[in-house]
Amino acid sequence: MTDPHSDLRLAAEGGAPVRAARLPYGRQQIDDEDIAAVVGALRGDWLTTGPAVEAFERALQPVTGAPHVVAVSNGTTALHAMLAAAGIGPGDEVIVPAMTFVATANAALYCGAKPVIVDVDPATLLIDPAAVAAAVGPSTKAVIGVDYGGQPADHDALRAITDRHGLRLFADGCHALGATDHGRRVGSLADATTFSFHPVKHIATGEGGAIATADAALAGRMRRLRNHGLSQTAAERERAGTFRYEMAEWGHNFRLTDLQCALGASQLRKLEANLARRRALADRYARLLAGVDGVEPLAVRPGVEHAWHLYVVRLPRDRWAVDRDELHRLLMAEGIGANVHYLPVHLHTFHQAQGARVGQCPVAEAAYAELLTLPLHHGMSDNDQDDVIAALLKLRAARGR
């Protein structure tokens, strides 16, 4: 059998691909313990709003470094509930980075507020504190720092700005469960921090999210908002032996089920192992990519313990004979499921229609043209990673400058 690594012709041009089956950029890992946990919930009395939800929230407290954790249906509703509970509303502005998933900005829109999109640091692609300071205006009520790729934003620098102007500091930590900044856990660095348990994240509940905070009043309001604004949950009424409840305020159905929380609690017991594997793979990428010209990993801030949700590299345009889109196509043909994170928020059609303009975040725009996310998940083997490097070397030989 021909070794695909010995065939230097690109798969898109008739050569043998590095991999016959595509390696995904991210993927969940579910084992028998996880399945048993869900089956146990299925056989119990509560499928939703029951004891598994409270147990999952308690288990997340030490991981996030926060005394209050509120589980919700996904990372997007976590952002929405966080802003709504803080009183963000029509006429308010919320500063967000250009380099993030659209949900960060959408959360402000859900509350009737305006997202103000600012540029990022060129080395890390994290929100640029100087850009935040320049964007603060009379309608600004909050800043959301995004822990892009799994690396904590510089929340200390952001805190100095928000404290000076009397603003709320929030964190979108949906990439960063288990990360730390100088020993402090993501979840304790801002007034409140959101997390996601989507299948490509560090732990999976199918869909799911949570908000961590030290603010008991904020947590209490988020609990009401996730349950239609009701004064009591079904479990609380059961314990109290009453049927009465009141809709104290307008809320939503952002509830996470007991089935998902049972899975989440089981997955959470593997978090440290998952993080260790992701960090080992990231270290190995750094070593292997040192020998691949034209592929540059992002910088890591000093004192940070990265969670490595994503492994993002830049492909400098002057080192390649074709653009990033073509390199992505060629990698996919080799069986490498590369991705791109993200089209800057202000370049999406919706935001362009709302007045965003090309050129307002030049760092993010320049980075986007060169970005590629390489496969990285805790189920990957060293051989999988070797295939990624082999494919990049093939591309380098065929399309490099």
Residues designated catalytic: 201
Tokens 């440290």, located at residue: 272
How many other C-beta atoms can be found within 10 angstroms of the C-beta atom of residue 142?
25
Residue at 358: amino acid letter:
V
Please report the DSSP string for 355-370 in residue order.
T--TTSSHHHHHHHTT
Tokens 């260790």, located at residue: 276
Distance between CA 129 and CA 135 in Å, rounded? 10
Cα–chain center distance at 401: 34
How many other C-beta atoms can be found within 10 angstroms of the C-beta atom of residue 227?
22
CA-based nearest residue to 172, from 84, 82, 244, 235:
82
Distance between CA 60 and CA 369 in Å, rounded? 37
Cite the beta strand spans of 173-263 per DSSP E: 180-181, 184-185, 192-196, 209-213
CA-based nearest residue to 337, from 379, 376, 291:
376
Distance between CA 337 and CA 88 in Å, rounded? 39
How many other C-beta atoms can be found within 10 angstroms of the C-beta atom of residue 287?
8
Whether the link from the prior residue into 342 is cis, omega within 30° of 0, is yes
Half-sphere exposure of 97 (CA within 13 A, CB side): 28
> Parallel, antiparallel, or unpaired for β 371-374 and 68-72?
unpaired
Tokens standing for residue 97: 């980075």
- Quote the Cα angle for 275-277-280, to 5°: 110
Sign of CA pseudo-dihedral 318, 324, 326, 331: positive
Contact 168, 162 (CB under 8 A): yes
Give the bridge partners for 372, in sequence order: 313
Distance between CA 115 and CA 121 in Å, rounded? 19
3-state class (DSSP) for residue 159: helix
